[in-house]
Structure 1
Amino acid sequence: MPTKTPTTAGMPVWLDLMTPHSEAIRPFYEALLGWTFEQRGSEKGDYGVALSGSRPVAAVVPPFRGQSLWFLYFASTDVQADAERLRELGGQVSLGPLRVGDHGHLLMATDPTGAPFGLWQSGQPQGLGRTGAPGTFAWAELQTRDADRARDFYTALLNNTSRKVPGMEYHTLYRGQDQNVGVMQMDEIHWPPDLPSRWMLYFSVTNTDEAVRTAQASGGRPLSAPHDSPYGRLAVLQDPAGATFSVIQLP
Protein backbone atom coordinates (compact mmCIF):
# COMPACT_ATOMS: atom_id res chain seq x y z
CA MET A 1 0.00 0.00 0.00
CA PRO A 2 1.34 3.47 -0.86
CA THR A 3 2.76 5.64 1.90
CA LYS A 4 3.76 8.67 -0.17
CA THR A 5 1.61 11.51 -1.43
CA PRO A 6 0.53 10.61 -4.97
CA THR A 7 0.84 13.38 -7.54
CA THR A 8 1.08 11.44 -10.82
CA ALA A 9 -1.81 11.40 -13.29
CA GLY A 10 -3.88 8.28 -12.89
CA MET A 11 -3.34 7.97 -9.12
CA PRO A 12 -5.67 8.92 -6.25
CA VAL A 13 -5.34 12.64 -5.63
CA TRP A 14 -8.25 13.69 -3.39
CA LEU A 15 -11.13 12.47 -1.21
CA ASP A 16 -14.51 14.07 -0.61
CA LEU A 17 -16.90 13.08 2.14
CA MET A 18 -20.24 13.98 0.62
CA THR A 19 -22.78 14.44 3.41
CA PRO A 20 -25.75 16.66 4.26
CA HIS A 21 -24.64 16.62 7.91
CA SER A 22 -21.20 18.24 7.77
CA GLU A 23 -21.32 19.94 11.17
CA ALA A 24 -22.71 16.90 12.97
CA ILE A 25 -20.26 14.48 11.39
CA ARG A 26 -17.05 16.25 12.35
CA PRO A 27 -16.84 15.06 16.00
CA PHE A 28 -16.96 11.47 14.75
CA TYR A 29 -13.88 11.88 12.55
CA GLU A 30 -12.11 14.04 15.12
CA ALA A 31 -12.42 11.21 17.64
CA LEU A 32 -11.72 8.36 15.22
CA LEU A 33 -8.95 9.75 13.00
CA GLY A 34 -7.69 12.74 14.97
CA TRP A 35 -8.72 15.24 12.31
CA THR A 36 -9.28 18.96 12.71
CA PHE A 37 -11.35 21.00 10.27
CA GLU A 38 -11.08 24.33 8.50
CA GLN A 39 -14.22 25.88 7.06
CA ARG A 40 -13.73 27.37 3.63
CA GLY A 41 -15.92 28.74 0.90
CA SER A 42 -16.09 29.10 -2.85
CA GLU A 43 -18.56 30.07 -5.53
CA LYS A 44 -19.77 26.45 -5.28
CA GLY A 45 -20.68 26.85 -1.61
CA ASP A 46 -19.09 26.20 1.77
CA TYR A 47 -16.96 23.18 2.41
CA GLY A 48 -14.66 21.95 5.14
CA VAL A 49 -11.10 20.71 4.78
CA ALA A 50 -10.02 17.88 7.08
CA LEU A 51 -6.47 18.19 8.38
CA SER A 52 -4.14 15.59 9.81
CA GLY A 53 -1.70 17.74 11.73
CA SER A 54 -1.42 20.73 9.42
CA ARG A 55 -1.83 18.83 6.18
CA PRO A 56 -5.06 18.47 4.16
CA VAL A 57 -6.31 14.89 3.80
CA ALA A 58 -9.95 15.22 2.67
CA ALA A 59 -12.87 17.61 2.24
CA VAL A 60 -16.39 17.58 3.64
CA VAL A 61 -18.84 18.79 0.99
CA PRO A 62 -22.61 18.76 0.32
CA PRO A 63 -23.86 15.56 -1.33
CA PHE A 64 -24.14 15.46 -5.12
CA ARG A 65 -27.30 13.38 -5.19
CA GLY A 66 -28.39 13.32 -1.56
CA GLN A 67 -26.46 10.26 -0.44
CA SER A 68 -23.72 10.28 2.20
CA LEU A 69 -20.63 8.61 0.76
CA TRP A 70 -16.86 8.78 0.43
CA PHE A 71 -15.85 9.87 -3.08
CA LEU A 72 -12.47 9.23 -4.73
CA TYR A 73 -10.78 11.45 -7.32
CA PHE A 74 -7.94 10.41 -9.63
CA ALA A 75 -5.42 12.95 -10.93
CA SER A 76 -5.79 14.07 -14.54
CA THR A 77 -3.62 16.25 -16.76
CA ASP A 78 -6.49 16.91 -19.20
CA VAL A 79 -9.92 16.30 -17.71
CA GLN A 80 -11.72 17.26 -20.95
CA ALA A 81 -9.83 14.63 -22.94
CA ASP A 82 -10.32 12.09 -20.16
CA ALA A 83 -14.08 12.75 -20.21
CA GLU A 84 -14.20 11.74 -23.86
CA ARG A 85 -11.92 8.80 -23.21
CA LEU A 86 -14.03 7.39 -20.37
CA ARG A 87 -17.16 7.60 -22.53
CA GLU A 88 -15.40 5.62 -25.24
CA LEU A 89 -14.47 3.03 -22.62
CA GLY A 90 -18.07 2.60 -21.47
CA GLY A 91 -18.24 5.00 -18.52
CA GLN A 92 -20.70 7.85 -18.04
CA VAL A 93 -20.12 11.48 -17.06
CA SER A 94 -22.37 12.59 -14.19
CA LEU A 95 -21.10 16.16 -13.77
CA GLY A 96 -18.60 18.38 -15.56
CA PRO A 97 -15.94 18.92 -16.51
CA LEU A 98 -16.31 22.15 -14.58
CA ARG A 99 -13.92 24.74 -13.22
CA VAL A 100 -13.56 25.21 -9.47
CA GLY A 101 -12.16 28.73 -9.12
CA ASP A 102 -8.40 28.78 -9.58
CA HIS A 103 -8.03 25.38 -7.97
CA GLY A 104 -8.62 23.27 -11.06
CA HIS A 105 -11.25 21.30 -12.95
CA LEU A 106 -13.30 18.35 -11.74
CA LEU A 107 -15.42 15.68 -13.31
CA MET A 108 -17.75 13.16 -11.67
CA ALA A 109 -18.48 9.90 -13.45
CA THR A 110 -19.53 6.29 -13.12
CA ASP A 111 -17.54 3.37 -14.46
CA PRO A 112 -19.12 0.65 -16.66
CA THR A 113 -20.00 -1.40 -13.55
CA GLY A 114 -21.85 1.52 -11.92
CA ALA A 115 -19.29 2.70 -9.34
CA PRO A 116 -19.02 6.50 -8.94
CA PHE A 117 -15.60 8.21 -9.05
CA GLY A 118 -14.05 11.51 -10.06
CA LEU A 119 -11.19 13.08 -11.97
CA TRP A 120 -9.35 16.19 -10.83
CA GLN A 121 -7.09 18.38 -12.96
CA SER A 122 -5.27 20.65 -10.54
CA GLY A 123 -4.68 24.28 -11.34
CA GLN A 124 -2.13 24.52 -8.51
CA PRO A 125 0.36 22.08 -6.96
CA GLN A 126 -1.95 20.36 -4.49
CA GLY A 127 -3.56 17.07 -3.53
CA LEU A 128 -3.51 14.75 -0.55
CA GLY A 129 -1.11 16.38 1.86
CA ARG A 130 -0.34 13.16 3.69
CA THR A 131 -0.96 9.43 3.17
CA GLY A 132 -0.16 6.19 4.96
CA ALA A 133 0.26 7.70 8.45
CA PRO A 134 -2.39 7.03 11.12
CA GLY A 135 -5.50 9.07 10.38
CA THR A 136 -4.82 9.36 6.65
CA PHE A 137 -5.70 7.62 3.38
CA ALA A 138 -4.05 4.22 3.00
CA TRP A 139 -5.71 2.41 0.09
CA ALA A 140 -8.64 2.39 -2.33
CA GLU A 141 -10.38 -0.72 -3.57
CA LEU A 142 -13.13 -1.04 -6.14
CA GLN A 143 -15.66 -3.65 -5.04
CA THR A 144 -17.56 -4.58 -8.18
CA ARG A 145 -19.85 -7.17 -9.73
CA ASP A 146 -17.64 -7.35 -12.84
CA ALA A 147 -13.97 -7.13 -11.87
CA ASP A 148 -12.65 -7.99 -15.34
CA ARG A 149 -14.61 -5.23 -17.03
CA ALA A 150 -13.68 -2.72 -14.33
CA ARG A 151 -10.01 -3.68 -14.51
CA ASP A 152 -9.98 -3.13 -18.28
CA PHE A 153 -11.71 0.25 -17.91
CA TYR A 154 -9.41 1.67 -15.25
CA THR A 155 -6.16 0.35 -16.69
CA ALA A 156 -7.02 2.05 -19.98
CA LEU A 157 -8.36 5.29 -18.49
CA LEU A 158 -5.63 5.72 -15.87
CA ASN A 159 -2.76 4.33 -17.94
CA ASN A 160 -2.21 1.61 -15.33
CA THR A 161 -1.14 -2.00 -15.56
CA SER A 162 -2.75 -4.88 -13.68
CA ARG A 163 -1.63 -7.98 -11.80
CA LYS A 164 -3.98 -10.64 -10.45
CA VAL A 165 -3.47 -11.64 -6.84
CA PRO A 166 -2.88 -15.41 -6.74
CA GLY A 167 -5.77 -17.38 -5.28
CA MET A 168 -8.15 -14.40 -5.21
CA GLU A 169 -10.58 -12.65 -7.53
CA TYR A 170 -8.57 -9.48 -6.97
CA HIS A 171 -6.51 -7.30 -9.30
CA THR A 172 -3.90 -4.81 -8.15
CA LEU A 173 -3.42 -1.85 -10.48
CA TYR A 174 0.00 -0.29 -10.85
CA ARG A 175 1.18 3.10 -12.04
CA GLY A 176 4.71 2.28 -13.12
CA GLN A 177 6.17 0.24 -10.28
CA ASP A 178 3.87 1.76 -7.63
CA GLN A 179 0.79 -0.06 -6.39
CA ASN A 180 -2.13 2.21 -7.13
CA VAL A 181 -5.56 0.75 -6.29
CA GLY A 182 -7.29 -2.63 -6.09
CA VAL A 183 -10.23 -4.18 -7.93
CA MET A 184 -12.17 -6.91 -6.09
CA GLN A 185 -14.88 -9.19 -7.43
CA MET A 186 -18.01 -9.05 -5.25
CA ASP A 187 -19.47 -12.51 -4.69
CA GLU A 188 -22.94 -13.55 -3.51
CA ILE A 189 -21.65 -14.91 -0.18
CA HIS A 190 -19.97 -11.86 1.36
CA TRP A 191 -22.00 -9.03 -0.22
CA PRO A 192 -25.78 -8.53 -0.29
CA PRO A 193 -27.12 -8.96 -3.84
CA ASP A 194 -28.54 -5.42 -3.90
CA LEU A 195 -25.26 -3.72 -2.89
CA PRO A 196 -23.97 -1.75 -5.92
CA SER A 197 -20.39 -1.54 -7.13
CA ARG A 198 -18.46 1.03 -5.10
CA TRP A 199 -15.04 2.39 -4.20
CA MET A 200 -14.04 1.45 -0.66
CA LEU A 201 -11.56 3.84 0.98
CA TYR A 202 -9.20 2.67 3.70
CA PHE A 203 -7.80 4.92 6.42
CA SER A 204 -4.78 3.99 8.51
CA VAL A 205 -5.20 3.63 12.29
CA THR A 206 -2.80 2.60 15.04
CA ASN A 207 -5.19 -0.02 16.48
CA THR A 208 -8.18 -1.38 14.56
CA ASP A 209 -9.97 -2.83 17.59
CA GLU A 210 -9.70 0.47 19.44
CA ALA A 211 -10.88 2.33 16.33
CA VAL A 212 -14.02 0.19 16.19
CA ARG A 213 -14.78 0.94 19.84
CA THR A 214 -14.22 4.66 19.25
CA ALA A 215 -16.49 4.62 16.21
CA GLN A 216 -19.29 2.98 18.19
CA ALA A 217 -18.90 5.43 21.07
CA SER A 218 -19.05 8.33 18.58
CA GLY A 219 -22.26 7.30 16.87
CA GLY A 220 -20.95 5.06 14.09
CA ARG A 221 -21.28 1.33 13.73
CA PRO A 222 -19.11 -1.55 12.52
CA LEU A 223 -20.25 -3.38 9.38
CA SER A 224 -17.59 -6.05 9.87
CA ALA A 225 -15.71 -7.18 12.95
CA PRO A 226 -11.94 -6.53 13.07
CA HIS A 227 -10.12 -9.26 11.17
CA ASP A 228 -6.58 -9.97 10.02
CA SER A 229 -5.38 -9.97 6.41
CA PRO A 230 -1.96 -10.24 4.78
CA TYR A 231 -1.97 -6.43 4.57
CA GLY A 232 -3.05 -5.55 8.11
CA ARG A 233 -5.96 -5.77 10.55
CA LEU A 234 -9.17 -4.45 8.97
CA ALA A 235 -12.68 -3.38 9.84
CA VAL A 236 -15.51 -1.83 7.81
CA LEU A 237 -17.29 1.10 9.49
CA GLN A 238 -20.23 3.36 8.83
CA ASP A 239 -20.27 6.93 10.10
CA PRO A 240 -23.38 8.42 11.80
CA ALA A 241 -24.65 9.82 8.47
CA GLY A 242 -24.31 6.49 6.64
CA ALA A 243 -21.03 6.86 4.73
CA THR A 244 -19.10 3.57 4.60
CA PHE A 245 -15.32 3.20 4.75
CA SER A 246 -12.65 0.89 6.19
CA VAL A 247 -9.85 1.25 8.71
CA ILE A 248 -6.62 -0.70 8.61
CA GLN A 249 -3.84 -1.23 11.12
CA LEU A 250 -0.83 -1.58 8.83
CA PRO A 251 1.76 -4.21 9.80
Structure 2
Amino acid sequence: MPEVTSPYQAGTPCWVDLAAPDQQAAIDFYSEVFGWAGEVGPAETGGYAVCTLNGKPVAGIMAAVPMGGQPAPPTVWTSYLAAADAGATSQAVSQAGGTLLMPVTDVMSLGRMCIAADPTGAVFGIWQPMDFPGAGIVNESGALIWNELNTTEPSAAAAFYKAAFGIESAPMEGAEHYYGLTVNDRPVGGMQPMSEQMPADTPSHWLVYFAVADTDATVDKITSAGGAALQQPFDMVAGRMAVVTDPQGATFAVINPKPMDQG
Protein backbone atom coordinates (compact mmCIF):
# COMPACT_ATOMS: atom_id res chain seq x y z
CA MET A 1 0.00 0.00 0.00
CA PRO A 2 1.39 3.42 -0.87
CA GLU A 3 -0.06 4.99 2.27
CA VAL A 4 2.36 4.70 5.19
CA THR A 5 0.57 3.38 8.28
CA SER A 6 3.42 2.11 10.47
CA PRO A 7 6.56 3.81 11.84
CA TYR A 8 9.68 3.85 9.70
CA GLN A 9 12.32 1.44 10.95
CA ALA A 10 15.64 3.03 11.93
CA GLY A 11 17.89 3.43 8.89
CA THR A 12 14.99 3.67 6.44
CA PRO A 13 14.69 6.79 4.26
CA CYS A 14 11.61 8.49 5.69
CA TRP A 15 11.58 12.02 4.28
CA VAL A 16 13.08 14.23 1.58
CA ASP A 17 13.28 17.95 1.35
CA LEU A 18 14.60 20.61 -0.99
CA ALA A 19 16.40 23.87 -0.24
CA ALA A 20 15.61 26.33 -3.04
CA PRO A 21 16.70 29.95 -3.53
CA ASP A 22 13.15 30.78 -4.69
CA GLN A 23 10.90 28.71 -2.45
CA GLN A 24 7.61 29.74 -4.03
CA ALA A 25 8.88 29.03 -7.54
CA ALA A 26 9.96 25.56 -6.38
CA ILE A 27 6.56 24.89 -4.82
CA ASP A 28 4.87 25.98 -8.05
CA PHE A 29 7.16 23.80 -10.19
CA TYR A 30 6.69 20.58 -8.22
CA SER A 31 2.98 21.20 -7.85
CA GLU A 32 2.74 21.45 -11.64
CA VAL A 33 4.89 18.39 -12.30
CA PHE A 34 3.64 16.03 -9.57
CA GLY A 35 0.29 17.46 -8.50
CA TRP A 36 1.48 18.40 -5.02
CA ALA A 37 -0.28 20.92 -2.84
CA GLY A 38 1.90 23.23 -0.78
CA GLU A 39 2.40 26.73 0.49
CA VAL A 40 5.03 28.67 2.42
CA GLY A 41 4.73 27.68 6.06
CA PRO A 42 4.44 29.79 9.22
CA ALA A 43 7.27 31.94 10.54
CA GLU A 44 7.86 29.67 13.55
CA THR A 45 8.98 26.91 11.17
CA GLY A 46 11.09 29.27 9.06
CA GLY A 47 8.47 29.16 6.33
CA TYR A 48 9.10 25.43 5.74
CA ALA A 49 6.52 24.07 3.31
CA VAL A 50 5.21 20.55 3.82
CA CYS A 51 3.91 19.52 0.40
CA THR A 52 1.12 16.98 0.22
CA LEU A 53 -0.25 14.48 -2.27
CA ASN A 54 -3.79 13.24 -1.75
CA GLY A 55 -3.74 15.02 1.59
CA LYS A 56 -0.66 13.16 2.86
CA PRO A 57 2.79 14.72 3.43
CA VAL A 58 5.14 13.78 0.63
CA ALA A 59 8.13 16.19 0.68
CA GLY A 60 9.38 19.45 2.14
CA ILE A 61 10.52 22.63 0.39
CA MET A 62 12.39 25.36 2.25
CA ALA A 63 14.03 28.64 1.33
CA ALA A 64 17.80 28.32 0.87
CA VAL A 65 18.90 31.20 3.07
CA PRO A 66 21.94 31.72 5.33
CA MET A 67 21.25 30.58 8.91
CA GLY A 68 23.23 30.98 12.12
CA GLY A 69 26.19 32.54 10.38
CA GLN A 70 26.36 29.67 7.91
CA PRO A 71 26.07 30.14 4.14
CA ALA A 72 22.85 29.23 2.38
CA PRO A 73 22.52 25.47 1.79
CA PRO A 74 23.05 24.16 -1.74
CA THR A 75 20.06 23.66 -4.02
CA VAL A 76 19.70 19.91 -3.52
CA TRP A 77 17.22 17.26 -2.43
CA THR A 78 18.21 15.76 0.94
CA SER A 79 17.28 12.23 2.01
CA TYR A 80 16.56 11.69 5.73
CA LEU A 81 17.15 8.36 7.46
CA ALA A 82 14.88 7.45 10.35
CA ALA A 83 16.43 7.15 13.82
CA ALA A 84 15.03 6.07 17.17
CA ASP A 85 17.39 8.51 18.91
CA ALA A 86 18.96 11.30 16.86
CA GLY A 87 21.58 12.01 19.52
CA ALA A 88 22.79 8.43 19.75
CA THR A 89 22.68 8.05 15.98
CA SER A 90 24.73 11.21 15.45
CA GLN A 91 27.36 9.77 17.80
CA ALA A 92 27.33 6.52 15.83
CA VAL A 93 27.79 8.50 12.63
CA SER A 94 30.86 10.23 14.05
CA GLN A 95 32.30 7.00 15.42
CA ALA A 96 31.85 5.32 12.01
CA GLY A 97 33.82 8.06 10.25
CA GLY A 98 31.03 10.41 9.22
CA THR A 99 30.93 14.18 9.74
CA LEU A 100 28.19 16.15 11.48
CA LEU A 101 27.36 19.24 9.43
CA MET A 102 24.51 20.45 11.63
CA PRO A 103 24.07 19.40 15.27
CA VAL A 104 21.00 17.64 16.57
CA THR A 105 18.17 20.18 16.70
CA ASP A 106 14.65 20.01 18.08
CA VAL A 107 11.99 20.87 15.50
CA MET A 108 9.26 21.98 17.90
CA SER A 109 7.31 18.83 18.84
CA LEU A 110 7.65 17.38 15.35
CA GLY A 111 10.94 15.56 15.88
CA ARG A 112 14.70 15.93 16.19
CA MET A 113 17.09 16.18 13.27
CA CYS A 114 20.65 16.72 12.17
CA ILE A 115 22.58 16.82 8.90
CA ALA A 116 25.68 14.71 8.31
CA ALA A 117 27.99 13.45 5.58
CA ASP A 118 29.28 9.92 5.16
CA PRO A 119 33.03 9.24 4.77
CA THR A 120 32.73 9.50 0.97
CA GLY A 121 31.13 12.95 1.18
CA ALA A 122 27.46 12.14 0.58
CA VAL A 123 25.21 14.40 2.67
CA PHE A 124 22.08 13.07 4.37
CA GLY A 125 19.72 13.93 7.18
CA ILE A 126 18.75 12.06 10.34
CA TRP A 127 15.16 12.28 11.53
CA GLN A 128 13.91 11.16 14.93
CA PRO A 129 10.11 11.29 14.64
CA MET A 130 7.86 12.59 17.36
CA ASP A 131 4.64 14.20 16.13
CA PHE A 132 5.75 14.00 12.50
CA PRO A 133 6.73 10.49 11.30
CA GLY A 134 7.79 11.44 7.77
CA ALA A 135 6.31 10.81 4.35
CA GLY A 136 2.70 9.67 4.60
CA ILE A 137 2.55 8.30 1.08
CA VAL A 138 5.26 6.57 -1.00
CA ASN A 139 5.61 4.31 -4.04
CA GLU A 140 2.75 6.03 -5.85
CA SER A 141 2.80 8.35 -8.84
CA GLY A 142 3.98 11.75 -7.61
CA ALA A 143 5.55 10.36 -4.43
CA LEU A 144 8.98 9.21 -3.31
CA ILE A 145 9.79 5.68 -4.46
CA TRP A 146 13.57 5.19 -4.11
CA ASN A 147 16.67 6.70 -2.50
CA GLU A 148 19.99 5.93 -4.15
CA LEU A 149 23.51 6.53 -2.93
CA ASN A 150 25.97 7.37 -5.70
CA THR A 151 29.39 7.13 -4.13
CA THR A 152 33.07 7.30 -5.00
CA GLU A 153 33.81 4.43 -2.60
CA PRO A 154 31.03 1.82 -2.33
CA SER A 155 32.95 -0.42 0.09
CA ALA A 156 33.66 2.44 2.50
CA ALA A 157 30.07 3.67 2.24
CA ALA A 158 28.68 0.17 2.85
CA ALA A 159 30.79 -0.24 5.99
CA PHE A 160 29.73 3.19 7.28
CA TYR A 161 25.96 2.75 6.85
CA LYS A 162 26.10 -0.71 8.41
CA ALA A 163 28.02 0.58 11.44
CA ALA A 164 25.97 3.76 11.91
CA PHE A 165 22.47 2.56 10.96
CA GLY A 166 22.52 -1.22 10.61
CA ILE A 167 21.85 -0.91 6.88
CA GLU A 168 23.01 -4.00 4.99
CA SER A 169 24.19 -3.95 1.36
CA ALA A 170 24.49 -6.71 -1.21
CA PRO A 171 24.80 -6.94 -5.00
CA MET A 172 21.40 -6.60 -6.65
CA GLU A 173 20.52 -9.45 -8.99
CA GLY A 174 20.23 -8.36 -12.60
CA ALA A 175 21.88 -4.97 -12.06
CA GLU A 176 25.63 -4.88 -12.65
CA HIS A 177 27.66 -2.90 -10.08
CA TYR A 178 24.45 -2.05 -8.20
CA TYR A 179 23.84 -2.83 -4.54
CA GLY A 180 20.57 -3.13 -2.71
CA LEU A 181 20.32 -1.54 0.72
CA THR A 182 18.15 -3.31 3.30
CA VAL A 183 16.96 -2.84 6.86
CA ASN A 184 15.90 -6.07 8.54
CA ASP A 185 15.91 -7.73 5.10
CA ARG A 186 13.51 -5.10 3.70
CA PRO A 187 14.72 -3.13 0.63
CA VAL A 188 15.06 0.55 1.48
CA GLY A 189 17.31 1.91 -1.27
CA GLY A 190 20.23 1.34 -3.59
CA MET A 191 23.92 2.13 -3.96
CA GLN A 192 26.21 2.32 -6.95
CA PRO A 193 29.63 3.69 -7.92
CA MET A 194 29.66 7.16 -9.40
CA SER A 195 28.70 6.98 -13.07
CA GLU A 196 31.26 7.93 -15.70
CA GLN A 197 28.48 10.00 -17.27
CA MET A 198 28.55 12.40 -14.32
CA PRO A 199 30.88 15.42 -14.39
CA ALA A 200 34.27 14.59 -12.87
CA ASP A 201 33.77 16.98 -9.95
CA THR A 202 30.37 15.55 -8.93
CA PRO A 203 30.52 14.65 -5.21
CA SER A 204 29.07 11.51 -3.69
CA HIS A 205 25.37 12.09 -3.13
CA TRP A 206 21.96 10.61 -2.41
CA LEU A 207 19.61 10.81 -5.41
CA VAL A 208 15.85 10.85 -4.80
CA TYR A 209 13.44 9.11 -7.19
CA PHE A 210 9.80 10.06 -7.63
CA ALA A 211 7.34 7.62 -9.19
CA VAL A 212 5.44 8.74 -12.30
CA ALA A 213 2.86 7.15 -14.55
CA ASP A 214 4.62 8.17 -17.78
CA THR A 215 8.32 9.01 -17.70
CA ASP A 216 8.50 10.58 -21.16
CA ALA A 217 5.47 12.77 -20.59
CA THR A 218 6.81 13.84 -17.20
CA VAL A 219 10.17 14.82 -18.68
CA ASP A 220 8.32 16.86 -21.32
CA LYS A 221 6.40 18.58 -18.52
CA ILE A 222 9.61 19.23 -16.57
CA THR A 223 11.39 20.79 -19.54
CA SER A 224 8.32 22.85 -20.45
CA ALA A 225 8.29 24.18 -16.89
CA GLY A 226 11.93 25.29 -17.10
CA GLY A 227 13.74 22.15 -15.95
CA ALA A 228 16.16 20.03 -17.96
CA ALA A 229 16.95 16.38 -18.63
CA LEU A 230 20.42 15.20 -17.61
CA GLN A 231 19.62 11.66 -18.76
CA GLN A 232 16.78 11.29 -21.22
CA PRO A 233 14.23 8.54 -20.48
CA PHE A 234 15.68 5.04 -20.74
CA ASP A 235 14.61 1.53 -19.85
CA MET A 236 16.37 -0.31 -17.04
CA VAL A 237 15.75 -3.28 -14.76
CA ALA A 238 13.30 -1.47 -12.45
CA GLY A 239 11.37 0.49 -15.07
CA ARG A 240 11.70 3.50 -17.35
CA MET A 241 13.55 6.38 -15.71
CA ALA A 242 15.21 9.72 -16.34
CA VAL A 243 17.50 12.01 -14.37
CA VAL A 244 16.46 15.65 -14.44
CA THR A 245 16.95 19.03 -12.79
CA ASP A 246 14.38 21.58 -11.74
CA PRO A 247 14.64 25.21 -12.95
CA GLN A 248 16.84 26.11 -9.96
CA GLY A 249 19.29 23.26 -10.53
CA ALA A 250 18.20 20.57 -8.04
CA THR A 251 18.75 17.08 -9.44
CA PHE A 252 16.28 14.22 -9.02
CA ALA A 253 15.09 11.13 -10.88
CA VAL A 254 11.68 10.06 -12.12
CA ILE A 255 10.69 6.48 -12.84
CA ASN A 256 7.69 4.61 -14.13
CA PRO A 257 8.33 1.40 -12.17
CA LYS A 258 7.72 -2.07 -13.51
CA PRO A 259 4.90 -3.83 -11.65
CA MET A 260 6.16 -5.72 -8.61
CA ASP A 261 5.80 -9.50 -8.61
CA GLN A 262 2.74 -10.33 -6.60
CA GLY A 263 3.88 -13.96 -6.02
The total of aligned residue pairs comes to 249
Residue 118 (structure 2) aligns with: 111
Matched, 1:230 2:237: yes
Contact 2:244 2:253 survives alignment (8 Å): yes
Q: How much has 1:38 moved relative to structure 2?
A: 3.6
Give the letter for the 1:59 counterpart: G
Equivalent position SS for 2:231: coil
Q: Which deviates the most, 3-12 or 66-75? A: 3-12
Report the Cα distance in structure 2 between the residues aligned to 1:180 and 1:67, rounded to whole angstroms.
25
Residue 182 (structure 2) aligns with: 174
Give the one of 41, 60, 82 matched to 2:89: 82
Report the Cα distance in structure 2 between the residues aligned to 1:193 and 1:216, rounded to whole angstroms.
25
Residue 248 (structure 2) aligns with: 241
Report the Cα distance in structure 1 between the residues aligned to 2:132 and 2:76, rounded to whole angstroms.
26
Contact 1:140 1:200 survives alignment (8 Å): yes
Contact 1:155 1:173 survives alignment (8 Å): no
Residue 100 (structure 1) aligns with: 107
Report the Cα distance in structure 2 between the residues aligned to 1:178 and 1:190, rounded to whole angstroms.
30
Give the one of 204, 214, 230 matched to 2:221: 214
Highest RCO, 1 vs 2 (Cα 8 Å, sep ≥ 6) = 1
Give the letter for the 2:57 counterpart: P
Residue 69 (structure 2) aligns with: none
Q: How much has 1:29 moved relative to structure 2?
A: 0.9
Query: Which structure 2 residues correspond to residues 34-73 of structure 1 after superposition, within 5 A?
Result: 34-41=35-42, 43-63=44-64, 65-73=72-80
| CA deviation vs aligned residue, 1:84-141 (integer Å, no higher than 9, x gap) | 1111111000001011111111010011000110101112252111000100000000
Q: How much has 1:41 moved relative to structure 2?
A: 2.2
Report the Cα distance in structure 2 between the residues aligned to 1:57 and 1:100, rounded to whole angstroms.
18
Residue 121 (structure 1) aligns with: 128
| CA deviation vs aligned residue, 1:15-60 (integer Å, no higher than 9, x gap) | 1111121111222111211111143225341111111110010111
| CA deviation vs aligned residue, 1:65-92 (integer Å, no higher than 9, x gap) | 3321101111111111111111111100
Contact 1:141 1:183 survives alignment (8 Å): yes
Give the letter for the 1:8 counterpart: Q
Residue 148 (structure 2) aligns with: 141
Contact 2:171 2:178 survives alignment (8 Å): yes
Residue 21 (structure 1) aligns with: 22
Q: Give the root-mean-square deviation of aligned CA atoms.
A: 1.6
Q: How much has 1:165 moved relative to structure 2?
A: 2.3
Report the Cα distance in structure 2 between the residues aligned to 1:143 and 1:246, rounded to whole angstroms.
13
Equivalent position SS for 1:56: strand
Report the Cα distance in structure 1 between the residues aligned to 2:57 and 2:156, rounded to whole angstroms.
33
Identity of aligned residues (%): 34
For structure 1, the 5+ residue unaligned runs are none
* 1:125/1:16 CA distance change after superposition, 3 Å: closer
Matched, 1:197 2:198: no
Matched, 1:160 2:161: no
Report the Cα distance in structure 2 between the residues aligned to 1:3 and 1:195, rounded to whole angstroms.
32
Q: How much has 1:10 moved relative to structure 2?
A: 1.0
TM norm structure 2 = 0.90
